Structure 1
Amino acid sequence: MTPPRRKRRQPQPPPLPEQPKPSPPGAADGQAEPKNPERLYAFAESQDGARAELDLVTLIVARSAPKPDGSPEQAAVLRLCAAPLSVAELSAYLSLPFSAMTVLITDMITAGLVQARSPIVRQALPDRSLLEAVMHGLQRL
């Protein structure tokens, strides 16, 4: 039986330094570009900065069709709101933060494009007649 032959390691050449990539025009020197840039949302149409009293469960209903001169976000809201949708659902479908949705929807309410409906609030206490009917039904059992 012969012993296995050992191979000598050859020295590896040092790795070549990476070439710097050319920066796009308008980019500041020394700043790295983010790999997945986030979109900035700026809605500056309201003059006084006031917002509608919107809650996560406020229902939004479209009152008109999307207009060609509107923003893409407005067109998407109008298409989605053919049937009532909550602000939370709209925010999730459009991947917009809730604060940006409230500004967008406030502008759309002011323009008359959508209507906001408050959710149906349940009464704090059930109706007395309903409780009596349940009680009588249980007694019959």
Structure 2
Amino acid sequence: MSGPGSRPGRDDSPDRLYTLTGGRSRAGTDSPFDLVTLVVAESAPVPGMQSEHAAILRMTERPTAVVEIAAELRLPVGITKILLADLLATGRVSARHPRHQAAVPDLELLEQVLVGLRNL
């Protein structure tokens, strides 16, 4: 029978997760992070920094989605959001949502379609 520590390369025991987050279970109500939020490092890791924070800064040299960070760290997304909130609060990362390119309809084309429909 397999237990929580039996998965290779994964250590998500409650004690470890509690330690990583300082006992917090949520990133906060004003957290800008969801699964697709892009995170970018604003600074390099510094000596003495928590290893997960340093790993996040290294992997977000280019925009990286929260879900990708969680997968790479092999941590639950909720825990990853807490770690990201810590980095955001200290200005070490920035966060933004992917741009949604709203398609602006071509008004001339719409008028031609309307004329065509009226002619039917």
TM-score (norm 2): 0.70
Q: Which residue of 1 aligns with 2:53?
A: 74
List alignment gaps of at least 5 residues for structure 1. Answer: 1-32, 137-141
Aligned 8 A contact 1:61 1:115 in 2: yes
Q: Which residue of 1 aligns with 2:105?
A: 128
What is the deviation of 1:117? Answer: 1.1
**By percentage of residues, which structure has more helix?**
2
Distance 2:42 2:58 in 1: 11
Q: Which residue of 1 aligns with 2:117?
A: none
Q: Which residue of 1 aligns with 2:34?
A: 55
Which structure is higher in RCO with an 8 Å CA cutoff and minimum separation 6?
A: 2
2:106 aligns to what SS in structure 1? helix
TM-score (norm 1): 0.60
2:17 aligns to what SS in structure 1? coil
What is the deviation of 1:50? Answer: 2.1
CA 86–129 in structure 1, closer or farther in 2 if over 3 Å, else same: same
Larger Rg: 1
List alignment gaps of at least 5 residues for structure 2. Answer: 114-120
Aligned residues: 100
Q: Report 1:6-45 matches (<5 A).
A: 36=6, 38-39=12-13, 40-42=16-18, 43-44=21-22
